[in-house]
Structure 1
Amino acid sequence: MLQGSSTIQFKIVLLGESAVGKSSLVWRFCQDQFSETIESTVGATFIHRVMDLGEYSIKLQIWDTAGQERYHSLTPMYYRGAKGVIITYDVTNNDSYEKAKDWVNEIRTQGTPNAKIVLVANKIDLEDHQVDQMEAMKYAESNDLLFFECSAKTGEGVKDVFFGLSKALPVKWGEMSNRKGMEFSDSEDEFSVNVKNSKKVNKKKESGGCC
């Protein structure tokens, strides 16, 4: 049996159309902050997050991918090997929901076999919802997807997305980390990688944050 000092490592990837709020979800989860002026992802960014799940710790290697169509051909190299996939849509944009279904199909045919997929309805703080909640829930259920609603702006439901996925990932799928005794990610230095430019960028930690 795994002990509390064991750390299991998983690669997860965020997919979805441009402007659905993927980067904002990651920023809210890691730093508990939100910015209206966050820049669009170029290629992909890579972020660590370590959480204590009780019996063991889990280290998420989070790949936040660009949603612009011109980067679509590069996306398979980011989701290759990912055990968890977070596919996000904007509840005020029905096109982004339909595109999310396309992402589900792509992962099922080209992604890691049996990868856990989470369908995320973001921007629930806004009023003009175009995507019917019950229809999305039924779609997720019929396709064996985890389903969460959240708002990166207010923070509502964001932790549920990442913790829900983490708890659904079978331990046997993970890789043992050489580091022991890690709890939350503010206990270690975090970094992001601009994949397009292949440069590592050190991030200064802020109180309570991870990346």
Structure 2
Amino acid sequence: WDTAGQEEYDRLRTLSYPQTNVFIICFSIASPPSYENVKHKWYPEVCHHCPSVPILLVGTKKDLRNNPETMKRLKEQNQAPITTQQGVSLSKQIRAVKY
């Protein structure tokens, strides 16, 4: 299942978790807040409901990592695209089987 991340779906989303074989948690390389959501929302939720199910961590929008517009927008917010090293580090923190 692909589930929505909006808060209004929090209770419904977890109904799709039973009998899950693997979780694919995604974040946008061009959005540091989505990276932080892995640690503060998605990983805790998955661990609470399905602690023994493997997790794959996926960084999306890799093409925007070196995009001038993306870099400018993030710089204006004192942010930068998520690096490969940050993705690998996060995957270890959440004990993902693969990044």
Structure 2 residue runs without a partner (length 5+): 71-79
The residue matched to 2:23 in structure 1 has which SS?
A: strand
Q: How many residues align?
A: 85
Aligned residue type for 1:75: R
What does 1:44-123 correspond to in 2, within 5 Å?
63-101=1-39, 102-111=41-50, 113-123=51-61
Greater fraction strand: 1
The ranges of structure 1 where at least 4 consecutive aligned residues each deviate by more than 2 angstroms after the TM superposition are 127-130
TM-score of the pair, normalised by structure 2: 0.74
For residue 132 of structure 1, report the CA deviation from its aligned partner: 2.8
Look up the match of 2:94.
143
Structure 1 residue runs without a partner (length 5+): 1-62, 149-211
Cα distance in 1 for partners of 2:33, 2:18 equals 25
The residue matched to 2:87 in structure 1 has which SS?
A: helix
Instruction: Give the fraction of aligned pairs with identical amino acids, expressed as a percent.
Output: 29
What's the Cα RMSD here? 1.7
Aligned residue type for 2:9: Y
TM-score of the pair, normalised by structure 1: 0.37
Q: Greater Rg, structure 1 or structure 2?
A: 1
The residue matched to 1:109 in structure 2 has which SS?
A: helix
